[in-house]
Copies of this chain bind each other. A is one copy, B any other.
Amino acid sequence: MEFRGSDLLTVEQFDLDDLRTIMDTAERMEVYATRQKVTRVLEGSVLGNLFFSPSTRSRISFGAAFNRLGGAVRDTSSIDQSSIAKGESLEATARVVSGYTDAIVIRYSEEGAASVVAEASPLPVINGGDGSNEHPTQALLDLYTLLKERKIDLDGVDGLCISIGGDLKYGRAAHSFVKELSIFRNMHFNLVAPDELQMPDGIVSKLRDKGHTVDQMSDLSRGIQDVDAIYMTRNQEDRMSPGEAERFRGKISLDRRTYERRARPDTTIMHPLPIDSRPGAQEIKPDLYQHPNFAVYRQTDNGIPTRMAVYALLLGVADRVRETECDAIWHSPDSDKSIPS
Which residues on A are within 8 Å of B, measured CB to CB? Answer: 4-5, 32, 35, 38-46, 48, 50-51, 54-57, 59-61, 63-65, 67-68, 70, 72-78, 80-89, 91-102, 119-124, 234, 238, 273-278, 281, 297, 300-301, 303-304, 314-317, 320, 326, 328-334, 337-341
Contacts and interface: CB of A to CB of B under 8 A. Distances in A.
Nearest to A76: B56
Contacts of A83: 55-57, 273-274
Given A40-B44, A73-B74, A95-B339, 20 more contacts: A44-B68, A44-B70, A44-B328, A46-B67, A46-B68, A48-B60, A54-B86, A56-B76, A56-B81, A60-B97, A72-B72, A72-B73, A75-B75, A77-B77, A86-B234, A87-B234, A87-B274, A87-B276, A91-B341, A317-B329
Given A119-B340, A331-B4, A92 B275 contact: yes
B274 A88 contact: yes
B46 A64 contact: yes
B304 A99 contact: yes
Contact of A89 (B85, B121, B277, B331): B277
A281 B320 CA distance: 48
A96 B57 contact: yes
A61 B99 CA distance: 9
Contact of A100 (B64, B120, B274, B326): B64
> In the complex this chain forms, how many copies of it are found?
3
B102 A35 contact: yes
Contact of A331 (B43, B121, B314): B314
B99 A301 contact: yes
6 contacts: A5-B331, A5-B333, A51-B81, A57-B83, A88-B275, A320-B329
Nearest to A61: B100
A57 B95 contact: no
Contacts of A303: 99-100
A98 to B, nearest CB: 7
A272 B74 CA distance: 21
Given A54-B82, A297-B96, A122 B334 contact: yes
A281 B89 CA distance: 12
A65 B42 CA distance: 16
A78 B81 contact: yes
Nearest to A274: B88
Contacts of A96: 57, 273, 297, 300
Given A86-B274, A234-B86, A277-B89, A340 B94 contact: yes
Given A88-B274, A92-B277, A275-B92, A338 B120 contact: yes
A72 B314 CA distance: 22
